[in-house]
Chains A and B, each alone.
Chain A
Amino acid sequence: MAAVNKSSAIRAVIEATSEEPIVFTTGYACRIAQDVLDRPNHFYMTGSMGLASSIAIGIAEQTGRPTVVVDGDGSLLMNPAGLVTAGALASLPLVHILLDDGHYTSTGGQHVPSWGTDFALLARSCGYARVKRIERAGDLTATVRTMAATCAAPTFLHCVLTGEDQPVPPRVDGDLAAHAARFGAAVRESLPC
């Protein structure tokens, strides 16, 4: 099976989910997700780098429903306090997916200085109940599908990207307030009365 790239990983996450809230981090993750399938349960975080997991924690805690965050290695390392915050909440239904390509891809491909960082160990030591390394898109689809249905504690999926990526789709367009309103309505409508 071919190595995972960012596009195939995001396609796998979208394929494995239906109405679960998904927060996509800034940079290419948002752009690829919007291009693959633009659903109302997608939140495209176009700025505020480092805070995708914090937004997802707020949603997961307030709704009590499995919530997915698609993070990047540069994003996660810009604000690792998100890991500490999630790890402190033992029953938080958070599926935290790290797409780790070792580069700041959307700003010119500079290296992320993570040579000394063990992401799995970092998540585990912050209190994540389950940590898994993933290297194939099929494995990602199956794991996210299971987690989206059953997740009841902070879960960290370290997805190592090694495949060449496709040309990046256009920027997220449209009014951001309207985007938030669409997502908020989808989150609230999916809650049990």
Chain B
Amino acid sequence: MQAPVTGLADELSERLVHSGFGPFYGTPCGILAPLFTAIDHRTGLRPVVREDNAVGLAAGAALAGRAPVVLMQNSGLGQSVNVLASLIVPYDLAILLIVSLRGIQPDRTQENVVMGRITEPLLGGLGIETATLDTADDAAARAAWAHEVVVRQSRPAALLVTPAAFGWRP
């Protein structure tokens, strides 16, 4: 049981690095912890104290010609609404967000339920394309999607990660 879910994080990190993504920035999240570890072991991940600062760093990296990735909890998406709305989208900066879905099943923590409900509509309203990664999903297919949108079409994208995807438990 434990091995395959750890494997999903490992495989996603390998596919993202292999398809040219980097540098990787992140503000920690329990759901994404296995992915933080996997990316850090593979290529390095810079921890950033606030999610919108991480998005700012990624904007600079994108301007320097890279294909940056920012890992965050969806609560940090709330912190990042303005930087996405006033910098990433209007300046057309191609970055990949990997956003956990606190507040959706099996996470019933009341403080996360509202953000869980609005995460996808919020990104939709921002005009940022999304895809979701769950336990049964194929990391290779999601990495290929991210590569198509961010690297080939030069648009921002957000990969949403369910609580169960990497084995998180309430």
Residues of chain A at the chain B interface (Cβ within 8 Å): 23, 43, 45-51, 53-63, 79, 81-82, 84-85, 176-177, 179-181, 183-184, 187-188
Q: Which of B28-36, B51-59, B114-122 contacts A (4 or more CB under 8 A)?
A: B51-59
Complex Cα–Cα for A90 and B48 (A): 15
Contact A79 B50 (CB under 8 A): yes
**Interface residue from A54, A62, A179 paired with B53 (Cβ < 8 Å):** A54
Q: Which of B79-87, B97-105, B129-137 contacts A (4 or more CB under 8 A)?
A: B79-87
Complex Cα–Cα for A47 and B56 (A): 12
Q: Which of B7-15, B60-68, B162-170 contacts A (4 or more CB under 8 A)?
A: B60-68
Overall SS of chain B's interface: helix
Instruction: Please give, as numbers and ranges, the residues of chain B lying within 8 Å of A85 by CB-CB distance.
Output: 48-49, 53, 57
Instruction: Please give, as numbers and ranges, the residues of chain B lying within 8 Å of A51 by CB-CB distance.
Output: 52-53, 55-56, 59, 83, 87
Given contacts A48-B86, A176-B91, A188-B65, contact A54 B49 (CB under 8 A): no
**Interface residue from B49, B62, B64, B92 paired with A63 (Cβ < 8 Å):** B64
Instruction: Please give, as numbers and ranges, the residues of chain B lying within 8 Å of A43 by CB-CB distance.
Output: 63
Contact A81 B53 (CB under 8 A): yes
Instruction: Please give, as numbers and ranges, the residues of chain B lying within 8 Å of A79 by CB-CB distance.
Output: 50, 52-53
The answer, yes or no, to whether B125 is at the interface (CB within 8 Å) is: no
The answer, yes or no, to whether B93 is at the interface (CB within 8 Å) is: yes
Complex Cα–Cα for A177 and B63 (A): 11
